[in-house]
Amino acid sequence: MGGAGVPLRELGLVLLVAAAITYLATGMVRSLLVRTGRVAEIRTRDVHTQPTPSLGGLAMFTGFICAVFLAQQLPALTRGFAPVTPEMTAVVAGAFAIVVVGIIDDLYELGALTKFIGQCFAAVLMSFLGLTFTVVFAPFGDGTTLILDQVQGMMIAALFTVVLVNAVNFVDGIDGLAAGIGMIAGGAILLYSLTILHDQGGAVSAYPPAIICAALVGICAGFLPHNFEPARIFMGDSGAMLIGLLLAAASISASGKINMSLYGTADFVALISPVVVVLAAVALPLTDLVWAVVRRAARGQSPTTADAGHIHHRLLALGHTHRRTVLVLYLWVSAVAFGAVSFSIVPTGPATALTAAALLLACALTLVPLRSGKIGRRGAR
């Protein structure tokens, strides 16, 4: 153990195995797709110039399943699995369903409605099998606790999952962006889960989000070397939707089942941190999703209509290079997500100062590009 009730070595092993298997599997999937001619042709809305395989989600799911299987065999992590808790079973089932939908879409281009129905099925399946909101700690008053019944918890969890799946899918428009955001956001929730494990002496409720996030960070880290500009393979909808579902699963688990009675009322920021951390970790993809829907609705277009108005397109238009655009967005996500986590780890004063400094740095780098940019390799979503 890395600390009282904190299985750091085991979670680290899960992360490394997820990364290694995803890295190797991605190379094999790419080779198979190239040999069989299964590469994404250039579409009118795309800006990459070479046909590129687009089924990286299959390799990512392989790494995730292997990592979860390993975690189930490790004595220090078995408390995160059935019969103690059904959450990991629910996550695996939901992940399988969303990846199947994504693979079919990557190969045959499903219609927007059909894909949405598939997303809803995966989200409802995951919530029905046991991954739901049960308790919500509201960020107002004196830390009001909202108790949800089973139907309410399932509906809210399924809705949250579908929104986040689409948010990550929308933001997957430039090489390395979705994988990097998934890795950073997953890392922030993982750090928060480790804090809860430490503070609560190994609370069972913190095991599933820690395992999910360790595997998520690993598969994103393993895929990123193949996907960072210039990408040799895209994750496709199968990968982007998988990241969104896993972030939603970790968020639901981390925010709904933490024993806040162990915290004093003086630590109000820590009391609301499950909500704050979750929202902060997914702030960029959610903002981009909302912005896209509002923008397209104002033009009288369908929310699923592709355009070039996403955040990364705006940064490219400012003159950032492809890689610098991705790195600037990484910094924004890191500043917001880890800034939120810091409030539950260090005193409020230092946490505020560190977060403010990171946000100011992100602003400076956003507004002052070093040199003229070039068009990204992925099309708009």
Pick out the residues of the known binding site: 169, 237
Run of H or E including 160: helix 150-171
> Both tokens of residue 89?
């079973």
- Name the one residue in this structure whose structure tokens are 């927007």: 112
- Name the one residue in this structure whose structure tokens are 């400094």: 357
CA–CA distance, 90 with 130 (Å, rounded to integer): 6
CA–CA distance, 115 with 72 (Å, rounded to integer): 31
> Both tokens of residue 2?
């890395």
CA–CA distance, 185 with 23 (Å, rounded to integer): 20
- At 227 the three-state DSSP class reads helix
DSSP 7: -
Give bridge partners of residue 6 from the DSSP assignment.
Answer: 3
Pairing of strands 135-137, 145-147: antiparallel
Q: Contact at 8 Å (CB) between 40 and 57?
A: no
Contacts of 264 (CB under 8 A, 6+ apart): none
Q: Which of 164, 153, 104, 103 is nearest to 127 (CA)?
A: 153
Q: Which of 134, 136, 145 is nearest to 265 (CA)?
A: 145
**Could you tell me the maximum CA-CA distance found in the chain, to the nearest angstrom?**
61
Run of H or E including 136: strand 135-137
The CA R_g of the chain, rounded to the nearest whole Å, is 20
Cite the annotated binding site for Mg(2+) by residue number.
169, 237
